[in-house]
Structure 1
Amino acid sequence: MLENSYVDDYIKRVKNGEMVVNTKRKQLIDFLEKKILPYDDLYYYDEQKLNDYIQFSEQWYYPLDAWEKFIAAFVFLMEYETEDVVFNQFVLIIGRGAGKNGFISTLAHYFISSLHGVNAYDITLVANSERQAKRSLNDVRLCVNKKGHEALNAHPPEDYLGEPGEFEAYKSRVSSLETQSEILFVAANSSTLDGGREGCIFYDEFHEMPDSSIPDVLGGGIGKVDYGRQFFIGTKGFVRGAYFDSKYNRCEDILNGEADYNGIFPFICELDDIDEMDDESKWAKANPALDKPLNKRGKRLLKTIRDEYSELVYTPSKRPAFVTKRMNLIEGDMEHSVASKEELEATIQPLFNLDGLIPIGGLDYGSVRDFASCGLLFKRGEEYSFINHSFVIKQFVDVHYGYSNSANMDGGGRKAPIRKWEKEGHLTVIDEPSLNPHHIIDWFIDAREKYGVQKIVADNYKMDILRPLFEDEGFEVEVIKRPQSVHPLLAPRVEDGFANHKFKFGNNEMMRWFTSNVYVKETNAGKIFDKKEEVKRKTDGFHALLYALYCANELDDQIDVDSFLDFTSSLNW
């Protein structure tokens, strides 16, 4: 078992209830205790570098908090086999005021120093504005040039009698003369950036990044120098559907055991519920600088947050910023899963009697190289039964789900059990470079023979090919040209269906998987349904259901045979 006093003490305090932490930090500890800490034969803490960093920071900057020492221990966690870092990406999502920039400054300064001891270990500080990007560089520059810190300064005042230090500090850069490493800053503009040979990149306020272009460009240089690291620092912010959300969702998957960590260390501090905002004792969930006992900066921060909280009564317009920035929470369900765990479990109900009912067909043909999903929607009274079948390309499921590896028969937390679902009849694996549309046509022909389906609803993708094929077989086709435009119209029906347990998927676990991968996003136009993750977490079956629901009113005119027979038997002829 790996042991380190800072890690062990932090975990002990959490488990003893001495620290108030949120669910995701508890999940992080569970992850570490399962995946990292038991393997002292694979990993080790570089205690020398860790202690050097802490001593350096506390001598020249400020006393580090317990959460900073906890994270730092994993910054210097090494792998025996590769002699490289175990975690090369640190995602730090923390409420405003915790001292994230100060933490960045101490790490950046130490990384370029002779104590770290890596030559040409350059640091790039990235933010959306030059002012924000310069913040940590200014911290380091002021530290080096501060009176009393002459032992750091390569060019101390003439009256200084001691040995000059190793650092040159200017407004545009800070350099170490001993390691030939430097700290630079850039404002985020991917059109003018290029990946270099950085040892470490800090993405400050990364919640404002519209997409992954900046990390894609700059991150290309990571790995050319030993111990490459990237730090993503921010709060939840107000930019939805952008880079932050994809990073956050990936961290959630890691913490939920649904994805490999792949070098990512997810440290997320947030309230677990909006009601906790009114309980001051819960604020430390979003901001670890409020952990007790409070130090001087913690007391100052608490006073500031109290003042801002009190102001909300008189200035309600400040509430969104307070909730998002201070409490690290998105209020008002701006984004949430389309169905809760309990609502998904309710869909396990058996399908009702389908005799005499004609369904509406739904089709999501999002890509010819991964998944396509067909469905039949039946309605009886206020309830819906949905039969779903998917076609998947073998190469795609081999790469992303390990389909050809027999060990993945039952999938697991990180891999969808494609082979199991195939055995259960919920999907067909197609060994073709791209999906032949006749597989879909044939499935609906069989469905017509069995259930009488006549109408199929689909989005516009590939319908120039599919529509003539369907119509040649006698099907009626309705095309939704702009699918997201109908999401706000269908959202009430979808939410009501899950909330009141009106959807029945039977034993189709794959359909529940499709649905669990969907989140609801608030936009100016209304609610839309989107993917939680772009590649592996497929949503095709859910969208086939959604398209069929678009024409669900047409199912209202059907005669419910069971209800009709019950009615006629009750008559006194």
Structure 2
Amino acid sequence: MIKYVKDYIDGYYAGTVKFNRERVDLVNYIKREIEPRITSGEIYFDSKQIENCINYIEKWFFPLEDFQKFIISFIFLYFTENHRNVYRKIFIMIARGNGKNGLISGIISYLSTPMHGIKKYNISIVANSEDQAKTSFDEIYDTIESNSKLEKLFGKPGKKEIKNIQTKSILKYRTSNGNTKDGLRDGAVVFDEIHQYESNKDVKVHISGLGKRPNPREFYIGTDGYVRDGFIDRMKDLAKRVLDGTSKKWNAIFPFICKLDDERQVDDKDKWELANPMFSEPMSEYAQGLFETVCEDYDDLEEEPSGREEFMTKRMDLPVTDIERSVATYEELVATKQEFPDTRGLSAVGGFDFASIRDFAAVGVLFRIDDTYVFKAHSFVRKAFVDQIYGYSKPKDSINGKKQYAPIKKWEEQGFLTVLDEPSINPRHVAAWFAKMRDEEGLEFKAICGDRFRLDILGPAFEEFGFTLPKGKKEEISVDKIEIINNPRAIDSLLAPRIEDAFANLKVNFGDNDMMRWYTQNVLRRLKGDGNVEYVKKEDVRRKTDGFKAFEYAMYRADEIVQSVGEDFTEITDWFF
């Protein structure tokens, strides 16, 4: 066994290096599949290539860590009979900041040199965006440009491609869109940030040119992501089958995967090494800086808990499993029951949700007082609808065999809603409520925000009460201005950190309005495949969310009103908080 592999594994046995489950499985795989084949002479590590590659990277790029030398060794593992590389696919999944791109930059730069010994060994770097695809390309470009000796080998690097003078090997970057493939006969392809790939369609296009040069290689690098049942999950599944011996090909892939084994390990900083191999002792200067950065990110979660998904996924390489959950826990909702401060004469932002004119409409005014979001809300509901769905006129425990979900009569008596015996909700009710808040409580509206949907019927009502409708998308905010949100679903992800951190830090005040707590409990916070958040209803008909959406729309302009004055998807059936 070559030194770099033996030393790294011995470090694990000695306890100086901590391995996650996948690396332990890799050690067992090496003992089962690699060592016997080396002993029999079927395969061998090309020590000259390995030493040359390591020396090349350390001379021109940066000092290598033990785990990086371990990975490099398997790139140059060959079959003895024909000197064909054992691994065509190399899969590196490590937490953010651990030098995946830097390592790949050094490796592919080396593969294009005469030391690798293959002429016209072209290499493509592929990613979803051009900026990401250029990460390694630019690093190689900068390294060559800053070293005159390398320029003798590569010439003057171009902005689109880098060509080795002696081997004629070309290095290019591309986006994952298969239409950008122009027929280059690649020797190797690097697929970066593979967590963003939904399928292998574009991958297949880019590897179609492989095999025309000796020893083709596919490098797959990245940190785990939010897309489930996509390309990266299939790669992880293949890796698992290779490691446990159930794959049809024992050498179908070389997987180097670093991640936490369990979500609870995140609170033990000594366990971070499982996802961050840079954190093995003794840490380099770079690793020490990275560790401090990750510590700061972790500490920030106390005040900004909404960042936990990003931290777990990118810093610990372990995506959280609760992609669907409530916006706020029961305890956080209880904490919104606070006494309202005196808000007369203050600046405010209004919010309204008028998506349907046949069931509910919600309105509210938002104040930001001493860093607490105070939201006074009211709702308008159609009598025919609440009779049918909630048994308003004849209150009872169940309606049509289904559990009673909302005490409409009680909330009406408390003044939190108005029941309208109308064929549809008249938009004048919405506009009149804001006019009342403006005129009777002396509020200064910086904006009133709502969905563009129904603007055709709401617009004249607002104008009737002296509010200004927007004339263009870029018009500045002014007092009593109606702010229209053209794509309300798009603001979910934008506002999610602010809203969820406010609940988590107990900085939301809904007063005695249990209906607002009901609205909020009905919202499902869903994490999409791209990592963005969307707010959806837990159930379409009975679980209304209008009040929460009005609150969200008002939060869109919360920065306009900073002033100071002197969990689970469980049913909450008792609204006496």
Q: How does 1:211-250 map to 2 (within 5 A)?
A: 211-250=199-238
Task: Rate the CA distance shift 1:235–1:195 in 2: closer, same or farther, 3 A.
Answer: farther
Q: 8 Å contact 1:126–1:186 — kept in the other structure?
A: yes
Which residue of 2 is the match for residue 508 of structure 1? none
Q: Residue 151 of structure 2: SS of its match in structure 1?
A: coil
Change (3 A) 1:15 1:334: farther
The code of the aligned residue for 1:291 comes to S
Q: Distance in 1 between matches of 2:106 and 2:57?
A: 6
Separation (CA, whole Å) in 2 of partners of 1:37 and 1:262: 13
Q: How does 1:278-317 map to 2 (within 5 A)?
A: 278-317=267-306
How far apart, in 2, do the equivalents of 1:334 and 1:195 lie? 40
Whether the 8 Å contact between 1:196 and 1:220 is mirrored in structure 2 is no
Q: What is the match of residue 151 of structure 1?
A: 149
Q: Give the alignment partner of residue 332 of structure 1, picking from 298, 311, 321.
A: 321
Amino acid of the residue matched to residue 307 of structure 2? K
What SS class does the counterpart of residue 156 from structure 2 fall into? strand
Tell me the distance in 2 between the aligned counterparts of 1:173 and 1:193.
14
Residues 26 and 243 in structure 2, CA contact (< 8 A), matched pair in contact too? yes
User: What pairs up with 1:250-399 in 2 under 5 angstroms?
Assistant: 250-259=238-247, 260-332=249-321
Aligned equivalents of 2:183 and 2:94: distance in 1? Answer: 27
Structure 1 residues 43 and 286, CA gap change in structure 2 (3 angstroms): same
Q: What SS class does the counterpart of residue 115 from structure 2 fall into?
A: coil
Is the Cα contact below 8 Å between 1:195 and 1:219 reproduced in 2? no
CA distance in 2, matches of 1:123, 1:47: 23
User: Hey, what's the Cα distance between the residues in 2 that align with 1:299 and 1:311?
Assistant: 19
Distance 1:178 1:26, change over 3 A: same
In structure 2, give the amino acid aligned to 1:150.
Answer: S
Rounded Cα–Cα distance in structure 1 between residues aligned with 2:192 and 2:202? 12
Q: Which secondary structure does the structure 2 equivalent of 1:84 belong to?
A: coil
Partner residue in 2 for 1:109: 109
Q: Output the CA distance in 2 between the equivalents of 1:171 and 1:306.
A: 37
Larger Rg: 2
Instruction: Check the 8 A contact 1:277/1:283 in 2, yes or no.
Output: yes
| 1:55 corresponds to | 55
Contact 2:121–2:167 (Cα < 8 Å) also in 1: yes
Q: Distance in 2 between matches of 1:145 and 1:196?
A: 24
AA matched with 1:187: T
Whole-angstrom CA distance in 1 between matches of 2:266 and 2:144: 40
User: Distance between the aligned counterparts of 1:95 and 1:235, measured in 2?
Assistant: 5
Give the Cα–Cα distance (whole angstroms) in 2 for the partners of residues 206 and 56 of structure 1.
27
Structure 1 residue 194, shift from structure 2 partner: 5.2
> How far off its partner does 1:332 sit?
2.8
Distance (whole Å) between structure 1 residues aligned to residue 142 and residue 219 of structure 2: 22
Q: 1:185 and 1:166, CA in 2 relative to 1: closer, same or farther beyond 3 A?
A: closer
User: For residues 484-499 of structure 1, what are the structure 2 equivalents within 5 Å?
Assistant: none
Q: Kindly provide the CA deviation profile for residues 82-139 of structure 1, in whole angstroms up to 9, marking residues without a partner as x.
A: 2110011111111000000100100111011111121000010000000000111110
Relative to the length of structure 2, the TM-score reads: 0.55
Give the SS at the match of 1:131: helix
The answer to whether the Cα contact below 8 Å between 1:195 and 1:217 also exists between their aligned partners in 2 is no
Asked if structure 1 preserves the Cα contact closer than 8 Å seen for 2:144 and 2:154, the reply is no
Q: Distance in 1 between matches of 2:134 and 2:528?
A: 34
1:68–1:103 CA contact under 8 A, matched in 2: yes
Question: Per the alignment, do residues 127 and 328 of structure 1 end up closer, same or farther by CA in structure 2, a change over 3 Å counting?
Answer: same
The one-letter code of the counterpart of 1:39 is R
- Of stretches 184-193 and 287-296 in structure 1, the one that deviates more from structure 2 is 184-193
Counterpart pick for 2:31 among 30, 33, 37: 33
| Greater displacement, 190-199 / 263-272 | 190-199
Alpha-carbon distance in structure 2 between the residues aligned to 1:200 and 1:192: 17
**C-alpha separation in 2, matches of 1:253 and 1:195:** 33
What is the CA–CA distance in structure 2 between the aligned matches of 1:5 and 1:179, rounded to whole Å? 30
Amino acid in structure 1 at the alignment position of 2:256 = F
- TM-superposed deviation, 1:53: 0.5
Q: Which residue of 1 aligns with 2:77?
A: 77
Q: Distance in 1 between matches of 2:252 and 2:275?
A: 24
- Please say if residues 122 and 184 of structure 2, whose CA atoms lie closer than 8 Å, have aligned partners that are also in contact: no
Deviation at 1:244, TM superposition (A): 1.1
Paired residues of 1:127 and 1:205 also in contact (CA < 8 A): yes
Aligned equivalents of 1:114 and 1:526: distance in 2? 61
Q: How many residues align?
A: 328
Where does residue 18 of structure 2 map in the other structure? 20
Contact (CA 8 Å) 2:84, 2:215: kept in 1 or not? yes
Matched, 1:205 2:197: no
Distance 1:304 1:27 in 2: 30
Superposition deviation, residue 62 in structure 1: 0.6
- Corresponding residue number in structure 1 for 2:520: none
Q: Which amino acid aligns with 1:210?
A: E
- Superposed, 1:506-545 pairs within 5 Å as none
Aligned to 2:486: none
State the alpha-carbon separation in 1 of the partners of residues 302 and 208 from structure 2: 48
Name the residue aligned to 1:88. 88
Separation (CA, whole Å) in 2 of partners of 1:34 and 1:168: 47
Amino acid at match of 1:128: N
Deviations 1:507-530 (A, max 9, x none): xxxxxxxxxxxxxx9999999xxx
**What's the offset of the Cα at 1:182?**
1.3
Q: Is this contact kept in 1: 2:242–2:252, CA < 8 A?
A: no
Partner of 1:423: none
What secondary structure is seen at the aligned counterpart in 1 of 2:116?
A: coil
Q: What residue identity is the alignment partner of 1:226?
A: P
1:183 to 168, 171, 176: 171
Superposed displacement of residue 334, structure 1: 5.3
The 1-side partners of 2:206 and 2:63 are apart by: 32
- Is there any run of 5+ residues in structure 1 with no aligned partner, and where? 155-164, 336-520, 528-573
Quick one: distance in 2 between partners of 1:15 and 1:314?
Answer: 39
Cα RMSD after superposing both structures: 2.0
Deviation at 1:242, TM superposition (A): 1.1
Contact 2:242 2:251 in 1 (8 A): no
1:263, CA displacement in angstroms?
3.3
**1:313 to 1:285, Cα distance in 2 relative to 1, 3 A:** same
Q: 1:42 to 1:195 in 2, by over 3 A?
A: farther
Name the amino acid aligned to 1:114: P
CA distance in 2, matches of 1:526, 1:17: 49
TM-score by length of 1: 0.55
Shift of 1:234: 0.8
Give secondary structure in 2 for the equivalent of 1:81: coil
Deviations 1:232-272 (A, max 9, x none): 00111111121111111111122222213343101111100
